[in-house]
A and B are shown apart, each in its own frame.
Chain A
Amino acid sequence: METLLACCIGFLTACGVFLMLRGRTFPVVVGLTMLSYAVNLFLFASGRLNLRGAAVLGMSEEYADPLPQALVLTAIVIGFAMTAYLVILAIRARADLGNDHVDGKLPEAEQRRKEAGL
């Protein structure tokens, strides 16, 4: 199972990174969300995997490590705040700058194409 989860973490990371390297804001936001899944899983997995061992006293014989869980719990919420901030920033950037490129301006080639099209 550890192998499978490691593969998942690696794959999610790769997908997230690929999307974060795109040139438009929305895929970057999606990529960041994906990367935060991977990061959260990674942090969580550092407490090792445990079936049927929720860290509630008296409910099981062996407990999963509660510390990474507590860290990840806040990480999920903070991750949401970050995603939200980023996406609103993207909206604001598009409203102010007229495009949704991450650099705030279209690459020259595309700018030319767009002007020719108009």
Chain B
Amino acid sequence: MTLLWILLLPMLGTLVPVLTAKWSRSACALLTALPVVVAFLLLISQTQAVFAAENLRYSLAWVPLLGLDIALRLDGLAYLFALLILGIGLLIILYARYYLSARDSMGRFYTFLMLFMTAMLGIVLSNNVLQLWLFWELTSISSFLLISFWWHKSEARRGARMALTITGAGGLCLLAALLIIGRIVGSYDLDVILASGDVLLAHSWYPVFLVLFLLGCFTKSAQFPFHFWLPNAMAAPTPVSAYLHSATMVKAGIFLLARFYPALAGSDLWIILVSLTGLATLLVGAYLALFKHDLKALLAYSTISHLGLITLLFGMGTELAAVVGIFHIINHATFKASLFMAAGIIDHETGSRDMRRINGLWKYMPVTGVLVMIASASMAGIPLLNGFLSKEMFLAETLNQHLLGAISWLIPVLATIAAIFSVAYSLRLIHDVFFNGEPKGLPKTPHEPPHLMRLPVEILVALCVLIGILPVLMVGSLLSSAAAAVLGTTEVPYYSLALWHGFNLPLLMSVIAIAMGLLIYSKRKKLFDFQSSLPGVDPLNSFEQLMKRLSRSCERFYNWLDNGSLQRYMVLLLSAVVVLAGLPLLEVPVLSGGREELPIDAVNATGAALLLISALATVIWHRKRVVALLMISVVGLMVSIAFTRFSAPDLALTQLSVEVVTVILLMLALFFLPHKTPSQSEPSRVIRDISLASLVGIVIGSWAYAVMTRPFNSISDFFLANAKTGGGGTNVVNVILVDFRGFDTFGEIAVLGIASLGIFKLLTRIPLFKPSSDGDGRPWTRERHPMLLATVAQSLLPLALMVSVYIFFRGHNLPGGGFIAGLITAVALILQYIAHGVDWMKARVNIEYQRVVAIGLLVALVTGLASFLFGRPFLTSWFDYFDVPLLGEVELASAMAFDLGVYLTVVGSTLLILSSLGKMTTAHRPVHKETI
């Protein structure tokens, strides 16, 4: 539970700044820090358990079938990172309180910061890789929000976009890798994956998922050649740079390297890829840092270089190197975060970060100067500071590897060169900022910052010194427990954190680095001239050019694909159908399944012939719309006869009544639509459409044949066996509808109701024009309601209603039921509309059909809910038999009430649709507008 709270508190903390932003700035900062402090204390309370290597886990099943759990773990590595995240996070909250100006929205800044803190904690504490990935993406998003915090600056927006694109793309690679790994291992549980190193290493897909995984890590940790986003992310407010882009987020990639070290490392491919990338990054970062005039840019490149150093250590493949890597994570976080914050202070108090202008600050801010000097010295690897320790150990490790075979000696040489540049740029930082003459044209007169703003820097610098002098006491157990977690063993290889290892080669390399660094810095003028004579590449611009080209080609593709032609979409869609449904047909050896066919008799043959002819006629005459309508009604009639022939009386009744309603509807529609379709299809298009239609027809027909001629087992035996005993009816189709699958039916009548309401809405305020003649120019007849029809229709009404009542009640046991009865009632009433007109009906039946639909749905719903009263699940049915005088035995079933709901919905929907449209042809239609 403690684990969950460590994560939950910062998550809840995202709300605090939003709510408290209207109070004073200090109150807002203080209250925001509160949950972080509590989480930090909770974490500290777990220290003993972590150092004792206890199994700290928390898990909550969420979607167990998909392997999605909310799973947390706290081991040495997670503890170390959580400590950095919460500890430095607290310092940053304090620092930002003084850094942000009165114009900046403090609430927004703290919200984003807490969001990031949550995400970062989520990464390090996750014990499920999918969950880990989710938090991983969240760090990219919160980083985007924080970099673009000053969104009015173009460079902030551009830098944020670039960072999001690069890390987001990497995130997708990582997701792919994690999915493949999860698939191979059979679990997304981190414990399981870390224990399956052998399986993963031996798998044939190892290179694929390793490369994807490393792409995710390298983009996040700004490794060469993806390093360019980090300097551009420096457009963010400095607390963000200190927190995200030096101490925590950029280390997420390295965290992942460390986390998966037991499972993925240990192959030559890992060693080559990781170590060479790290080496390249180390050199490129260290070299470029020297030439940056912007204080933050120098620190950014230095960060890149140090990240490369850590990556190189993890790539060496030896256990000791991994331990040193972890040690350097701690040290780098302390000295670099303090340097960034100091840079922010200088920027804040002088109004500039350009090292060509801010000179000689020693006179104005001596305390800050001392702090910067100590931290820079640590960065350069000067003895008695923590940076020296890990750098010495790193140099020692470079001497112990055999990565490049016979030319392995190159690596310590290159490492020394990087160290030389590291000394040189650290020196430049100190000398250019605090000495080197007087400030030039600064907007403000520099002075020391408020003490509380400097406090975080002081704390971190103190840590640098303390770790540097008393390493074992300060971080000994922390380091060994983290190292044990990374290596996946309980026995950590022997290492010594001593200050003095005697006169050895690494010490010599350090001395060379310091001496050469001094030399290079003193001769910097020539080097600067050389560097500025090189053709410069602006990564931001070239990146944006690339993005623009990419989005243009996407746009072209999109415009080609989505050109607004519905016919083309249909062609593409149907072609896909042909391919997807047709290809499996090729794999079926014999189309016929061998089931015995029914004989063809004369009636069936005639029916089929009529069906085919009328379908063909519909197509041939489709441009004469009334004729096409008549022809398709013949098709519908034949289909309902087919249902009768093949033992589906319910279907036949339904189809027949729907047919009537549909034809009336389409007739009405033709009143408003042109009566003829102009000929416009080019012959080539007709040929294309006929070919495609034939292909679809052939594929579907073949499948139909293949299905019908195969013997089968159906689940219907269950329904047949239980219809009477369980549902109380003998018409199994109806019992399925109102009982077994009642929930489906409920959904379907809901759809019907929604469609009718949608139609009702579509027809309100429609600017219709009322044609005075038909398509051939013949005027519509004035005589609206022929007497003969009116008389017959009126006398038919009671009969039809009686039939529908009969059909409704017998439905449970004989063909019939709510759907069919509803349609019959609807047809009977529509006939009255046709015979007498809307006015006549309105005077007699003034019902709003929307209400009928609503009542029908309510009846069905209440019937379903009623079963809850008896402690049964939704829509459980009940039935019993009663003796009624005169009528004999009568069955009452709750399913009948449900069927009544169906009946009402069908009647209401059908009449709502047709009467709304019918109304348009009369005086009740909306105000006439001559727009067409």
Complex contact B704–A69 (CB within 8 A): no
Contacts of B646 in A (CB 8 A): 44, 49-51, 64
Q: How far is the CA of A20 from the CA of B618 in the complex (A)?
A: 12
Contacts of B716 in A (CB 8 A): 47, 65-67
The minimal Cβ–Cβ distance linking B825 to chain A, given in whole angstroms, is: 14
Chain A: CB-nearest residue to B675: A26
Complex contact A2–B705 (CB within 8 A): yes
Q: How far is the CA of A5 from the CA of B759 in the complex (A)?
A: 35
B850 CB within 8 Å of chain A: no
Complex contact A76–B654 (CB within 8 A): yes
Contacts of B693 in A (CB 8 A): 13-15, 17-18, 21
Complex contact A8–B608 (CB within 8 A): yes
The minimal Cβ–Cβ distance linking A15 to chain B, given in whole angstroms, is: 5
Complex contact A11–B642 (CB within 8 A): no
Contacts of A47 in B (CB 8 A): 714, 716
Complex contact A76–B701 (CB within 8 A): no
Q: How far is the CA of A24 from the CA of B615 in the complex (A)?
A: 19
Bits for A19-54, please: 1 = Cβ < 8 Å to B, else 0. Answer: 111111111011001100110111011111111111
Neighbour of A56 across the interface among B566, B768, B814, CB < 8 A: B814
Q: How far is the CA of A70 from the CA of B737 in the complex (A)?
A: 6
Give residues of chain B (282-332) contacting chain A, Cβ–Cβ below 8 Å. Answer: none
The minimal Cβ–Cβ distance linking A117 to chain B, given in whole angstroms, is: 11
B553 CB within 8 Å of chain A: no
Complex contact A91–B681 (CB within 8 A): no
Complex contact A73–B733 (CB within 8 A): yes
Complex contact A4–B736 (CB within 8 A): no
B769 CB within 8 Å of chain A: yes
A77 CB within 8 Å of chain B: yes
Q: In the complex where A27-B628, A70-B733, A87-B669 touch, is A77 in contact with B752 (Cβ < 8 A)?
A: yes
The minimal Cβ–Cβ distance linking A33 to chain B, given in whole angstroms, is: 6
Chain A: CB-nearest residue to B682: A109
Q: In the complex where A10-B700, A26-B677, A64-B646 touch, is A1 in contact with B639 (Cβ < 8 A)?
A: no
Chain A: CB-nearest residue to B701: A10
B545 CB within 8 Å of chain A: no
Q: In the complex where A13-B701, A77-B654, A90-B673 touch, is A107 in contact with B643 (Cβ < 8 A)?
A: no
Contacts of B708 in A (CB 8 A): 2, 5-6, 45-46, 48-49
- How many residues of A are counted as interface, with CB atoms below 8 angstroms from the partner's CB atoms? 87
Q: How far is the CA of A1 from the CA of B597 in the complex (A)?
A: 6
Chain B: CB-nearest residue to A1: B598
The minimal Cβ–Cβ distance linking A28 to chain B, given in whole angstroms, is: 8
Neighbour of B615 across the interface among A12, A51, A58, A88, CB < 8 A: A12
Q: In the complex where A4-B604, A64-B647 touch, is A95 in contact with B755 (Cβ < 8 A)?
A: no
The minimal Cβ–Cβ distance linking A115 to chain B, given in whole angstroms, is: 15
B258 CB within 8 Å of chain A: no
B932 CB within 8 Å of chain A: yes
Bits for B689-720, please: 1 = Cβ < 8 Å to A, else 0. Answer: 11011101110111111011100101110011
Give residues of chain B (646-663) contacting chain A, Cβ–Cβ below 8 Å. Answer: 646-651, 654-655, 658, 661-662
Q: How far is the CA of A47 from the CA of B351 in the complex (A)?
A: 81
Q: How far is the CA of A78 from the CA of B422 in the complex (A)?
A: 74
Neighbour of A21 across the interface among B571, B658, B670, B819, CB < 8 A: B571
The minimal Cβ–Cβ distance linking B893 to chain A, given in whole angstroms, is: 15
Complex contact B567–A102 (CB within 8 A): yes
Contacts of B597 in A (CB 8 A): 1-3
Q: Is the interface of A mostly helix, strand, loop or mixed?
A: helix
Complex contact A56–B813 (CB within 8 A): yes
Among B179-187, B213-221, B455-463, B723-731, the stretch that binds chain A is B723-731
The minimal Cβ–Cβ distance linking A4 to chain B, given in whole angstroms, is: 5
Q: In the complex where A57-B732, A66-B733, A87-B666 touch, is A30 in contact with B632 (Cβ < 8 A)?
A: yes
Q: How far is the CA of A20 from the CA of B694 in the complex (A)?
A: 13
Complex contact A70–B566 (CB within 8 A): no
Q: How far is the CA of A27 from the CA of B681 in the complex (A)?
A: 13
B629 CB within 8 Å of chain A: yes
Neighbour of B665 across the interface among A8, A57, A64, A83, CB < 8 A: A83
Contacts of A42 in B (CB 8 A): 700, 703-704
Bits for B93-123, please: 1 = Cβ < 8 Å to A, else 0. Answer: 0000000000000000000000000000000
Contacts of A88 in B (CB 8 A): 669, 759, 762-763, 913, 917
Contacts of A94 in B (CB 8 A): 672-673, 932
Complex contact A72–B651 (CB within 8 A): yes
Neighbour of B651 across the interface among A4, A44, A63, A96, CB < 8 A: A44
Q: In the complex where A6-B704, A10-B701, A103-B564 touch, is A81 in contact with B648 (Cβ < 8 A)?
A: no
Contacts of A41 in B (CB 8 A): 639, 642, 704
B599 CB within 8 Å of chain A: yes
Contacts of A50 in B (CB 8 A): 646-647
Contacts of A110 in B (CB 8 A): 678, 680
Contacts of A53 in B (CB 8 A): 647
Complex contact B701–A7 (CB within 8 A): yes
The minimal Cβ–Cβ distance linking B757 to chain A, given in whole angstroms, is: 10
Q: In the complex where A25-B673, A33-B632, A95-B769 touch, is A2 in contact with B647 (Cβ < 8 A)?
A: no
Q: How far is the CA of A32 from the CA of B740 in the complex (A)?
A: 30
The minimal Cβ–Cβ distance linking A99 to chain B, given in whole angstroms, is: 9
Neighbour of B680 across the interface among A9, A10, A23, A34, CB < 8 A: A23
Chain A: CB-nearest residue to B649: A54
Neighbour of A5 across the interface among B625, B661, B704, B737, CB < 8 A: B704
Contacts of B600 in A (CB 8 A): 1, 4
Contacts of A44 in B (CB 8 A): 643, 646, 648, 651
Chain A: CB-nearest residue to B591: A6
B751 CB within 8 Å of chain A: yes
Q: How far is the CA of A84 from the CA of B654 in the complex (A)?
A: 16
Complex contact A34–B618 (CB within 8 A): yes
Q: How far is the CA of A81 from the CA of B905 in the complex (A)?
A: 12
Which of B697, B704, B712 has the most C-beta atoms of chain A within 10 angstroms of its own C-beta?
A: B704
Contacts of A66 in B (CB 8 A): 716, 719-720, 732-733, 736
The minimal Cβ–Cβ distance linking A47 to chain B, given in whole angstroms, is: 7
Contacts of A48 in B (CB 8 A): 595, 708, 712
The minimal Cβ–Cβ distance linking A79 to chain B, given in whole angstroms, is: 8
Among B152-160, B355-363, B741-749, the stretch that binds chain A is B741-749
Chain B: CB-nearest residue to A10: B701
Contacts of A58 in B (CB 8 A): 730
B756 CB within 8 Å of chain A: yes
Complex contact A18–B619 (CB within 8 A): yes
Complex contact B619–A8 (CB within 8 A): no
B549 CB within 8 Å of chain A: no
Contacts of A51 in B (CB 8 A): 598, 645-647
22 sampled A-B residue pairs with Cβ under 8 A: A2-B598, A11-B615, A11-B616, A13-B697, A18-B690, A33-B662, A42-B703, A50-B646, A50-B647, A57-B720, A65-B716, A66-B733, A74-B744, A78-B748, A84-B662, A88-B763, A88-B913, A94-B932, A95-B672, A98-B931, A102-B567, A110-B678
- Chain B residues in the interface with A (C-beta under 8 A): 564-567, 570-571, 574, 595, 597-600, 604-605, 608, 611-612, 615-616, 618-619, 622-623, 625, 628-629, 632, 635-636, 639, 642-643, 645-651, 654-655, 658, 661-662, 665-666, 669-670, 672-674, 677-678, 680-681, 689-690, 692-694, 696-698, 700-705, 707-709, 712, 714-716, 719-720, 723-724, 730-733, 736-737, 741, 744-745, 748, 751-752, 755-756, 758-759, 762-763, 766-769, 813-815, 819, 823, 906, 909-910, 913, 917, 931-932
Closest A-B pairs by Cβ, 5 of them? A10-B701, A14-B697, A6-B705, A81-B755, A18-B693
- Chain A residues in the interface with B (C-beta under 8 A): 1-15, 17-27, 29-30, 33-34, 37-38, 40-42, 44-60, 63-67, 69-70, 72-74, 76-85, 87-92, 94-96, 98, 100, 102-103, 107, 110
Seed contacts A12-B697, A19-B619, A85-B758; 9 additional CB < 8 Å A-B pairs: A33-B636, A42-B703, A66-B736, A73-B819, A80-B661, A84-B756, A95-B766, A95-B767, A98-B932
